Structure 1
Amino acid sequence: MSGRLESGVAPPVGDNPAGDAKSGIKKPKKKKVLLMGKSGSGKSSMRSIIFSNYIARDTRRLGATIDIDLSHVKFLGNLTLNLWDCGGQEAFMENYLSQQRVHVFSHVGVLIYVFDIESRDVDRDMATFVSIISALVQFSPTARIYVLIHKMDLMPPPPGRTCSTSTSAPSAKRRPSSPPLSVSRQALPATCPLDITPFATSIWDQSLYKAWASIIHDLVPNLSAIERNLANLGVAIEAEELLLFERTSFLAVSSWTSESGQDNPTHDRLERMSNIMKQFKQSISRFTGTPRNAEQFVCMEHKAGTSFSLFILKFTTNTYLMAVLPAGEARFNAAMLNCRIAIEHFKFLDGPSSPSPSNPQQFGS
């Protein structure tokens, strides 16, 4: 078996590509991310779960965001999210759209707008959303827009289906006073050039990880190099599936699946694994007394008899790698050894200062 892994072969990222190419250094990529929505829609809760390792029930202690809560979130080693969590009270919204219009809506890479499924004033919510889109078109016409229809755990499941939310979630005792919000092109300005990607989310299940992983996936620098190397590694170790997770948030950065692995009927397994591993890390933190964002484990193994085996390995400084394999002790040990050897080819994930060799190296086993 053999595969070819390339070390840092992606084009340089930054404002001066020519200078970066000469030095072989990749500059960090910065993205301004606006997190907006009506007060109480759940913006700060989801941010705390994804980036601060809160669990859902702990978010009840969070208070309302006052004006703008600015944080710098490092993702991998070469992407920094300048996350603007904007308070959703009407006075703040009016201020963003008038006095702070240029300041808030300039140089935006991503807008994440959160709708509350329980909203009792859908028309006003949509009017505010359209005003924000108009400001974004004016000052950041290339921004990407993601709409999260949040608190879906409060919606009763369709007839004949069971609710997929966590058993820790509060019971859906009431039906929202309005039907689920739909964001259509008809509600936006006719000249709006922006595409909108919608997600239905809840802090009580894996839907939140699905939405944020999709958002982050589109922002990751060197993504083509990551996907190429991951595919080559998967073929080399004869894996069924490889998943690359960011260390702190455990969001899926990239994945590779073999032909046999594509027969897996669980289509949301990436998000489920993010949710499971986040809960696992929080349990370790609780029982060992280590900080929530600390490194909690180096390697975890699971062998399901003759069905399959998997391991989750501390990979680079900023990532974990999960490998799913057919059953077999020799195959398992060889795969883990080869994954440790392959770490060298993914070092460009660790930061902007990693040099990029001009010649790809050969990897095999």
Structure 2
Amino acid sequence: MSSAKIDKTKHKVLLMGRSGSGKTSMRTIIFADNPNVGVRKMTPTKEAEQVHLEFMGNLYLNLWDCGGQSAFMNQYFSSQNEQIFRNVAVLIYVVDAKAISTDKKSEEEDRTWFEMCIKSLKQHSPSAKTFVLLHKMDLVSNFEQPNVVRGTVDMLQELAGDHELTCFQSSIWDESLYQAWSRICTYLLPGVEVYRESLNSLIHAIGAREVVLFESRTFLTLVRESREADPAEDQQRFERVSTILKHFKITCLKMQTSFREMQICNSEFSAFLWPFTTSTVALIIHDRPDEVEMVQANLQLARGHFAELEAQVMKVPLPGAHNFDDDDDDEYDDGENGEEGAEGNSSDDEYDDARD
């Protein structure tokens, strides 16, 4: 395996939205091995909590989890405007889908705060990418969901003007949250496309039906390749796998143990989940359950090559983005505590109570 030195990259990510929209609960679920049932004990975030989250070993997300109470939001757009919005790579704006569709005050606040966010980004970080999460979709009836999504997206796009938005529906109770965060994190790591050609070669070398790479800490989907394109397949199935694996990991941690690999075999197919490189886990779907040892041997041979690719992945820059450095940490540095910061007991809602 390669011992090539990989430079660390740090990107500033803003997590914003009204108080109670679910910002901190989703962050802890994705990055801190915190199950969704744990969000019931969380209390509102105060001001801007800054945490450094490790992803793919050498990518650090300097995530600013901004409390959504009106007093704090007013400060973000006045006295703290430049500090909050400068050098931003990504803004994640979280909308409570139930509240915005049923409460006029919530809609007006989201309209005001979102418009101010876009204006501030255009002034201080014009190249920043904006993702919108229409969150708590499980609280909106299936009948109402199309109208809520269409109305909210149209409103936000009108406010954003020529600033491009990428919108997702999400809930902490299904795989949609992992789908959204997988897209966000792979946007911040454009080099993952480097894997595709080699994954395609690996598929044919081992006779696999499909190969998927997950990030080893979060189980977010990085990249996947299939031997044959099948548009009828469930497009969210691997995010569903991410959700299952993360819950299994949490269960193992509660038992003071961990899992290294997993195999599922029947008469029709076999699925193998193995540690691959330092920062990735590989899922291989194979049509021949009797070829487990051959697949394992080929994966072992391929690890060195993919370790070299991992170094290349980290070198691909994010177009137009500022590489956030330690000099930018000038006020909110008490939250600079890595993964432990992601496990803090502060949040912006008690989401499970609303679901009940």
Using the size of structure 2 for normalisation, the TM-score is 0.80
Match of 1:56 in 2: 36
Judge conservation of contact 2:13–2:62 (CA < 8 Å) in 1. yes
* Structure 1 CA distance for aligned equivalents of residues 28 and 224 of structure 2: 25
- 1:115-154 equivalences under 5 Å are 115-119=95-99, 120=103, 121=105, 122-154=107-139
Identity %: 38
d(CA) in 1 for partners of 2:138, 2:160: 31
Distance 1:350 1:222 in 2: 9
Alignment partner of 2:90 out of 96, 105, 110: 110
Contact 1:28 1:351 in 2 (8 A): no
Q: How far apart, CA to CA, are the structure 1 residues paired with 2:64 and 2:231? A: 40
Tell me the SS of whatever aligns to 2:57. coil
Which is higher, the Rg of structure 1 or of structure 2? Answer: 1
In structure 2, relative to structure 1, the CA distance for the partners of 1:104 and 1:45 (3 Å cut) is same
Say whether residues 1:338 and 2:298 are aligned partners.
yes
Q: Which runs of 5+ in 1 are unaligned?
A: 1-6, 9-23, 159-174, 291-295, 356-365
C-alpha contact (below 8 Å) 2:193/2:223 kept by paired residues: no
Distance in 2 (CA, whole Å) between partners of 1:263 and 1:38 is 37
> Unaligned stretches of 5+ in structure 2?
316-356
Higher RCO, 1 vs 2 (CA within 8 Å, ≥6 residues apart): 2
Are 2:79 and 1:99 equivalent residues in the alignment? yes
CA offsets 1:142-169 (integer angstroms, 9 cap, x no match): 10100000001111223xxxxxxxxxxx
Aligned to 1:182: 152
1:326 equivalent to 2:297? Answer: no
Task: Please point out which of 300, 303, 319 is paired with 2:265.
Answer: 303
The match for 2:216 is: 247
What SS does the aligned partner of 2:98 have?
A: coil
Question: Deviation per CA, 1:178-208, whole angstroms, max 9, x where unpaired?
Answer: 9445233663254x4x210000100000000
CA shift digits 1:2-39 (9 cap, x unpaired): xxxxx99xxxxxxxxxxxxxxx8542221110000000
For residues 175 and 36 of structure 2, the distance between their equivalents in structure 1, rounded to whole angstroms, comes to 11
Aligned to 1:226: 195
Q: CA-to-partner distance for each residue in 1:115-162, whole Å, 9 max, x for gaps?
A: 00122221221121011110001111110100000001111223xxxx
Asked if 1 retains the 8 angstrom alpha-carbon contact of 2:157 and 2:165, the reply is no
Query: What is the alpha-carbon distance in structure 2 between the residues aligned to residue 155 and residue 43 of structure 1?
Result: 18
Query: Using a 3 Å threshold, how does the CA distance of structure 1 residues 25 and 125 change in structure 2: closer, same or farther?
Result: same
Number of residue pairs the alignment of both structures matches: 306
Q: Aligned-pair distance for 1:50?
A: 0.1
Residues 314-352 of structure 1: per-residue CA shift (max 9 Å, x gap)? 11122110000003313x321121011111112146669
Distance 1:33 1:85, change over 3 A: same
CA contact (8 A) 2:136 2:172 kept: yes
| Of 83, 92, 98, the match for 2:63 | 83
Q: Which residue of structure 1 aligns with residue 20 of structure 2?
A: 40
TM-score, with structure 1 as normaliser: 0.78
AA partner of residue 225 (structure 1): V
Whole-angstrom distance in 2 between the partners of 1:270 and 1:42: 23
Per the alignment, do residues 186 and 109 of structure 1 end up closer, same or farther by CA in structure 2, a change over 3 Å counting?
A: closer
d(CA) in 1 for partners of 2:191, 2:51: 24
Distance 1:199 1:207 in 2: 8
Q: Answer yes or no: is the 8 Å Cα contact 1:243–1:254 preserved in 2.
A: yes
> Compared with structure 1, are the counterparts of its residues 268 and 179 closer, same or farther at alpha carbon in structure 2 (3 Å cutoff)?
closer
**Counterpart-to-counterpart distance in 2, 1:89 and 1:26:** 40
Contact 2:18 2:95 in 1 (8 A): yes
Partner in structure 2 of residue 284 of structure 1: 252
